[in-house]
Every structure is written in structure tokens, then in C-alpha cells.
Amino acid sequence: VFINGDDGTRLRNYVQTNSSAQVRSIVFGATITNYVTTPLLVEHVGVRLKTDHTRRGDLRVSVISPRGTRSELQHPNDDFNAGPVDATYYSTHQFYESSMGVWTIEVSDEMNAPFGNVTYSEFIVHGVPITDEDWDGLDDSWEQQHFHTLAAGPADDGDFDGESNMSEFIQGTDPLRGSEPFALSVSQW
């Protein structure tokens, strides 16, 4: 059952005065989706929010990447000020993921009252531009150079050296040639 804020307040007051009443409350919030088609290797993302909420500290703000990486931008806290009136949060948790796909912003009120609304949201993504026709996060020219195809996935490890194709791409190493062992010569001075 979905109820508005006024009905929720009435229900809370009813439960407080009727000890035999049983109520289960589930927090619902605003979910804002952003579809990104620009191919970037993400360096950091930002979320700009404006709300009319009377207690900023009641809110939890998260952003979820197309790959499923969740970054909590604001935890519930003891901030009794209104807002966020106009705040921008940044995260690097999605570092070097592909920007393409659906990004989700979630804003939830973790307390019972007072209530508020998200009046404005903006999603910001900064990263390194790549050509990525197959939407896997790997630059197509790099894939063609090393594999002669776009079939290799970012999590694959063609040379079985423990480094994924994405790691090899970022480091500029050959994904089909195992890493050279680290050579160290120790001598006494």
C-alpha cells in the first residue's frame, strides 16, 4: 500500500495511541534514472540534488552504475538543517567502469517524518573518451589491436596472469602475454 505523507502521519499517530495495532513500515524513496550513451571510462560521477526536505540528515543518497556498483553519497546523520537545498555529491567508486547504460540515483527518507520532495536532480559523469561500439568498456581499437575482434570481455583474462582485460587496457599491458615476474637483486652494501 502506498500512502501520502499526511496519511502516513495519521497512521503513525494512530499506532502511537493504539498499542494493539500492528504496522510494518517500508521506506520508499525517489528513483531517478539517467541513460548515458557517451562512451567514457569513468573517473568520477556527480549527483546534484535540490530538495524541499526539512531535515537533510534523514536522507540517504546513492548512485548505482549500469554494472551495479553502488556508491552511497550521503548516509543518514544528525544534520537537522533543511535540504539538500542545492548540493553536489561526487564519487570515485565506479572508477574505470564504462559510462554507457542506465545510472540510477536513489534518494530515500530514512525517518518517519517530516517529509520532502526531490525538486531537481542532475547526473554528472567525467572520464576518458573511448570508442566502444560493443558497450563493454574496452576501447574498440585496443580490442582490435590485441584480439582482432570485439568479442573479448572486460573481465576475461586471455593470458591467465590474474589481470583482467580491463586492467590490462588501463595499464597499457599486453592482454595475451603474461606479466614478467618481478626481478629483484639483493646485495649487501
- Give the per-residue pLDDT at 1: 47
Angle at 138 between CA 148 and CA 61, to 5 degrees: 165
Q: What is the pLDDT of residues 139-155, one digit of tens each?
A: 999 999 999 999 998 88
Q: How confident is the model at residue 187 (pLDDT cuts 50, 70, 90)?
A: confident
> Among 3-12, 13-22, 81-90, whose mean pLDDT is lowest?
3-12
Q: What is the pLDDT of residues 51-71, one digit of tens each?
A: 999 999 999 999 999 999 999
> Among 16-30, 59-73, 84-98, 163-177, whose mean pLDDT is lowest?
16-30
Across all residues in the chain, what is the average pLDDT?
88
Q: Are 72 and 90 in contact (CB under 8 A)?
A: no
Q: C-alpha grid cell for residue 157?
A: 583474462
- Give the per-residue pLDDT at 27: 61
DSSP type of residue 139: -
Cα 139 from Cα 72, distance rounded (Å): 28
Please report, rounded to a whole number, the percentage of residues in the chain having pLDDT higher than 70: 92
Q: Are 112 and 55 in contact (CB under 8 A)?
A: no
